[in-house]
Structure 1
Amino acid sequence: MTAPVGTDGALALMQRWLDQLGAVRGRSPKTVEAYRHDVAGYLGFLNGHRGGPVGKAGLGEVTTSEMRSWIASLRGDDLSARSAARALSAVRSFHRWLAEAEGIDATAVIATRSPKIKASLPRPLAPDAAKALIAEAGQTPTDWIAARDMAVLTLLYACGLRISEALSLRQSDAPLPDMLRITGKGGKERLVPVLPVAREAVEQYRALHPHAPNAESPLFLGVRGGALNASTVQKTVANLRARLGLPATATPHALRHSFATHLLEAGGDLRAIQTLLGHASLSSTQVYTALDQARLMDVYDAARPKRR
């Protein structure tokens, strides 16, 4: 992707927008950095396409043809349709802000159609497989690392947390209350019920770990006492699924999918599951309905008499 060269004010505008995203709208540093990457690449494309800096005025002169060419260039760089759609979403957000803050026309950008993304269903684990994965993590009950891993995975499955949400918990959050306040994507807060099994797993880990952290330290600690990171959890789950013979789709996030799917299969209300997961829109939660319907069709196809 072409890096932006001197853009005569465009980069300064981008930085103002990014600063507002972080300070006012509460976007996480990772989200802001992803937006920076996508919009910087877009500005770089415009520079190259026009043969010079696009400038502030030029941002209001972007055409539908240029937008199509930019998206085609992303796909030509082997970027997936989902990643290209994410980049377009960032650029649209930038141009909406330009329209509000600077009065710059954003018509062509807003009207650009997003690349078609092939719908994919979540891949949850069967209840027995989810329980086996968690149990395997805690095979050494006196080992604080094993207790930690079991506690993290229990939270993902029993509370439907994202891995980032589980790892953002602090020592002051424990012992876990009956209702845990979680800050999710976009800084949105939700209350999540904590099952006794999750609280007990966390308390077992806390009783075993050898470090003496303060109240504001991360709840889940690494070997040396620093914050546990997501990649360590992902590697742990990869080792566990290999031992159990589970598929590569058995990831930490699959436990969150399993939480939602198993609740729905047990008769859970879709709106309630949306709230528990922290989804901004019901459409994000409805994929689990499609998954449930797909399973019903599999059962039907397997049960109906075969034609001879």
Structure 2
Amino acid sequence: MTEERTTPLRERMIEDMRIRGIGEKAQQSHIRAIKDFASFLGRPPDTATPEELRSYQLHMTNAGVSPSTFNVRIVALRFFFGTTCGREDMKGHMQFRRKPRPLPIVLSVEEVAELMAAGPGPGLKYRAALGISYGAGLRASEVCHLKVSDIDSNRMLIHVEEGKGGKDRKAMLAPGLLELLRDCWREARPQGWLFPGKPKINPISPRQ
């Protein structure tokens, strides 16, 4: 398998993304988006005209590209033209697609109880992890990386360290959830991670 050649333009874009502190996955997503645009264009992407940029957006629309993918590519193109190419004027020729926002499904008290009861045993660890995810609105990775010290029972808060976007935040702690967490702690007596994995020096994984 031949290794893909890195052009000076791509190398410069990668350097620009590193300077901005853009994560590895986001960098790869940006590169894929620019490759797709270059494939549509049939020549180096930095030579595109505003009309060709408009045609590419129309092409994505006609091809049935989802609003999420459409917007990811637009973000990459805005960075590419604005930062790497120094063509700020091109940003005025890009439009984001509006995503449909359906109302969230709200479970009944009975459905939540059934969901919690489905947590596998033995013990309360998985039930408590599921409860804190649903009750406090935490992502799976955020639940996995909670420490015992992150539960503030005095102020009824949960400290989430480096959540989405690498930002810290606070989540509300409901009294019923606090009791479940206390029962879980009395059962397993975790010292560091609230939900330790195997070995216990590591946290539980999102897959678990």
Q: Describe the shift of the 1:201–1:164 C-alpha distance in structure 2 as closer, same or farther (beyond 3 A).
A: same
Of 36, 50, 64, which residue of structure 2 is paired with 1:45?
36
The alignment status of 1:122 with 2:104, answered yes or no, reads: yes
Give the AA of the match of 1:36. Answer: Q
CA distance in 1 between counterparts of 2:25 and 2:129 reads: 26
Gaps of 5+ in 2: none
Does structure 1 retain, via aligned residues, the 8 Å contact 2:53–2:93? no
Per-residue CA deviation, residues 92-147 of structure 1 (Å, 9 max, x unaligned), is: 24444447xxxx11322443112343332222322321232113327x5xx23xx1
CA distance in 2 between counterparts of 1:77 and 1:220 reads: 45
Backbone CA RMSD of aligned residues? 3.4
Gaps of 5+ in 1: 233-308
More helix by share: 1
Of 160, 172, 191, which residue of structure 1 is paired with 2:170?
191
Structure 1 residues 227-242: aligned runs within 5 Å: 227-232=203-208
CA distance in 2 between counterparts of 1:16 and 1:176 reads: 45
CA distance in 2 between counterparts of 1:76 and 1:231 reads: 37
Does structure 1 retain, via aligned residues, the 8 Å contact 2:13–2:84? no
Q: Describe the shift of the 1:199–1:113 C-alpha distance in structure 2 as closer, same or farther (beyond 3 A).
A: same
Give the AA of the match of 2:10. Answer: L
- Determine the structure 1 residue equivalent to 2:127: 150
Question: How many matched pairs?
Answer: 203
Q: State the TM-score, normalized to the length of structure 2.
A: 0.74
Q: State the TM-score, normalized to the length of structure 1.
A: 0.53
Give the AA of the match of 2:140. Answer: I
- Determine the structure 2 residue equivalent to 1:14: 13
CA positional deviation for 1:164: 2.6
Does structure 2 retain, via aligned residues, the 8 Å contact 1:167–1:229? yes
Give identity over the alignment, percent: 20
Of 35, 38, 42, which residue of structure 1 is paired with 2:26?
35
Of 74, 77, 80, which residue of structure 2 is paired with 1:91?
77
The alignment status of 1:220 with 2:195, answered yes or no, reads: yes
